[in-house]
Amino acid sequence: MSETEQECAPEAAPQDAAAAAQDAPAEGADWREAISDARLRAFADRMAGPADAVKMAYDLRRKLSRALTPPGKDADAEEIRAFRRRLGVPDSIDDYGYERPALPDHLAPDEAGAARERAFLEHALELGLTREQARGVLDWHYRMAVDLDAHLSRELADGRAQSEAALRREWGGEYEAKLAAAHRAAVAFGGAEMLGFLNDLSVEGVRLADHPRLVRAFAEAGRRLGEDSVFLPDGAGGDATPEERVRDLRAAKQDALARGDRDAAQRLDAEERDLWGEITGAG
């Protein structure tokens, strides 16, 4: 204030000065005495003095200035988009920038799996998931898939070992021969597709190709195939074509020769020639 302003300023009225002096806390008085609200007084008791109260109010104001306030119900699309951006929510699913972890070939998503992954990201965007949240969920999903696959592999390996042990105890020294007979029957009746089918499916934690009940059944069929007759009914192997039956007969014949069963090999060779005669019309 300039000297001129000081000179022109009205002097404080004596009664105003007296009132100010009356309102000011006396030296040594508790500054909280003027607070009549019990809750405010209890809050003030936590502070050492007015300076603490001012500092707390200042810190609170700074925090509130940086706080994210959700848009109101009348907010427009741009306000909502700006709020979501501050949270870390992208504008589109492509902005999630998800990079799938390295997976075994048989677990890598095919076209349908990739579509499901994209559908999840679309839903994540609707829910307002941040990049870190959406990526975390997908990473967890693929970790669970890898862990489950490892668990199933261990289970199938244990099942195969238990099945083999049981059949070795049952068959003793004939185990290898009967297992070969089972394989021969599976090939004769279903070809490579049958073997693939038996290895792809499992029951009771054991692949069908290793399941004792099925191995016993195919071993018996293989025994009859090698000892009695080719044991191939019309249309063996389901809808097998004549050419496929010829292929299976040749495989069975080679197996019979490999084990030294010349009689079975001759019978199979005769049936193969008869079948070729039917195919070519020369029979």
Residue 115 inside a domain? The answer is: no
In a domain, 151, yes or no: no
The answer to whether the beta carbons of residues 81 and 91 sit under 8 Å apart is yes
> Domain span at residue 208?
171-280
Q: Does 259 have pLDDT greater than 80?
A: no
Tell me the β-bridge partners of 203.
206
Banded model confidence at residue 235, pLDDT cuts 50, 70, 90: very low
**In contact, 237 and 248? CB cutoff 8 Å:** yes
CA 261, chain centre distance (Å): 52
Is 39 within the bounds of a domain?
no
Distance CA 172, CA 16 (A): 117
Q: Does residue 98 carry a pLDDT above 90?
A: yes
pLDDT of residue 193: 80
The SS3 of residue 81 is helix
Please give the residue that has the higher pLDDT: either 176 or 8.
176
Residue 265 sits at φ, ψ, to 5 deg, of: -65, -40
What band does 2 get if pLDDT is binned at 50, 70 and 90? very low
* Cα separation of the two ends of the chain: 130
| Local structure of 89: helix, strand or coil | coil
203 found inside a domain: yes
- For residue 196, being part of any structural domain is answered with yes
Asked whether residue 89 is domain-assigned, the answer is: no
Q: Is residue 18 part of a domain?
A: no
Mean pLDDT value across residues 225-245: 53
pTM: 0.53
pLDDT reported for residue 258:
65
Across the range 136-155, mean pLDDT stands at 95
Within a domain: residue 23?
no
Pick the closest to residue 134 from 92, 105, 104, 102 (CA basis): 92
pLDDT tens across 176-208, in order?
A: 888 888 888 888 888 778 878 888 888 888 988
What rounded mean pLDDT belongs to the chain? 78
Number of domains in the chain: 1
